[in-house]
Amino acid sequence: GDSVTQMEGPVTLSEEAFLTINCTYTATGYPSLFWYVQYPGEGLQLLLKATKADDKGSNKGFEATYRKETTSFHLEKGSVQVSDSAVYFCALNSGGSQGNLIFGKGTKLSVKP
């Protein structure tokens, strides 16, 4: 079945460091891909998405490019801030009769001042 694999956390970075969180997927067909962020004590929020190969999703300085050839959707940010500390979830939706998002296990990011 469809699945999402994220890099294990936690990830600890200093402020202004470069961030990469790896995400790869397995899916039949052509899924839509998403990154969600969960701040402490809150629900998940959609961060960005891409619906077809080579699309780049971006928001709040974060970017991810849908790579069909490597089945990847890695999340990147050039300069992280303390306020980016959160748990990040990669997810896919393969559509069809399923309809529900399949989430990775999440990667906790801590940014130190």
> What residues make contact with another protein under the rule CB under 8 A?
32, 34, 36, 42-46, 49, 51, 89, 93, 95, 98-101, 103, 105-106
Least distance to another protein, CB of residue 87, Å: 10
* Residue placing its CB nearer to another protein in the complex, 8 or 16: 8
Least distance to another protein, CB of residue 113, Å: 26
User: In degrees rounded to 5, what are phi and psi of residue 82?
Assistant: -55, -35
Least distance to another protein, CB of residue 32, Å: 5
Least distance to another protein, CB of residue 36, Å: 8
Classify residue 22 as left (phi > 0), alpha (psi -120 to 50) or beta: beta
Q: Give the length of the chain.
A: 113
Q: Supply the DSSP string of 42-102, one letter for each residue.
A: S-EEEEEEE-STT-EEEETTEEEE-BTTTTB--EEESS--GGG-EEEEEEEE--TTT---E
* Residue placing its CB nearer to another protein in the complex, 25 or 36: 36
* Residue placing its CB nearer to another protein in the complex, 49 or 77: 49
